[in-house]
Amino acid sequence: MAAILSTPAAPLAGKVALVTGGAGGLGAEICRELAALGASVVVGYHSSADAARGLAAALPVAGAAGHCALAAPVTDSAALAGLAHDIGARHGRCDILVNCAGITSFVPHDDLDGLDDDLIDNILATNVRGPFAVVRALRPLLAASGDALVVNVSSIAAVTATGSNVMYCASKAALDNMTRSLARALAPAIRVVSVAPGLADTDFVKALDRAWRDRQADRTPLRRLAAPRDVALAVVALATHLTFTTGAVIPVDGGRPLR
């Protein structure tokens, strides 16, 4: 296969990117931005197979192998080993991994009984063990790239300790700590960075109470919520320009912690 050279218009040409949770509000926008810059994108999904396949089919064509949708259940290590094998067989490489899969549920922070053990276990398994398991499964492919990037999608809840529930906040704090540990352990071949949005204006958030959403925007110095594209462009910046950055947490929050 002839080498695909990057150009200023397509700086990610020849690169292969896996986005877990790729059919979600943030994940889909990240997939679109990576594809627009020339990357071949693997849209990872758990239960949203049809949405993931539709997204992969709609992305601009990139590279000989193009885009695809593959099952990426982040809590199933055996399935992730199969995913790594499939990516290797199809593309022969993986240069960018975006851990975007995550879960939460709204539980008031003082409702300790409402945060039951099953919910706690699900949040930690998906938001903490999941990203680690994906990195572990993809490590050989990432290391072979020689210039790989892992982006963990975190949240300002890791710092502010305000968010959908106590364990969600704790899971994102753990994710940021893990980002630093993995950045040290996997350097220099693999960079690992967290991107930490404020409340993002996804379809899920748009369906919530409008007055509550407006209050969140008013409490943000830039007076709006994070758009999914804001988060996607932070990922793109790490892949194209901030190439000497690792072990860091990049805020995409409009200055919300300042209030």
Catalytic residues: 168
Q: Which residues, in sequence order, are CB contacts of 178 under 8 Å at separation 6+? A: 128, 131, 132, 152
Q: Tell me the DSSP string of the chain.
A: ------BTTBTTTT-EEEEETTTSHHHHHHHHHHHHTT-EEEEEESS-HHHHHHHHHHSPP-TTT--EEEE--TT-HHHHHHHHHHHHHHHS---EEEE---------TT-TTTS-HHHHHHHHIIIIIHHHHHHHHHHHHHHHHSSEEEEEE--THHHH--SS-HHHHHHHHHHHHHHHHHHHHHTTTEEEEEEEESSB--HHHHTS-HHHHHHHHHTSTTSSPBPHHHHHHHHHHHHHT-TT--S-EEEESTTGGG-
The span from the CA of 252 to the CA of 29, in Å, is: 15
- Torsion angle of alpha carbons 53, 55, 60, 62, nearest 10°? -50
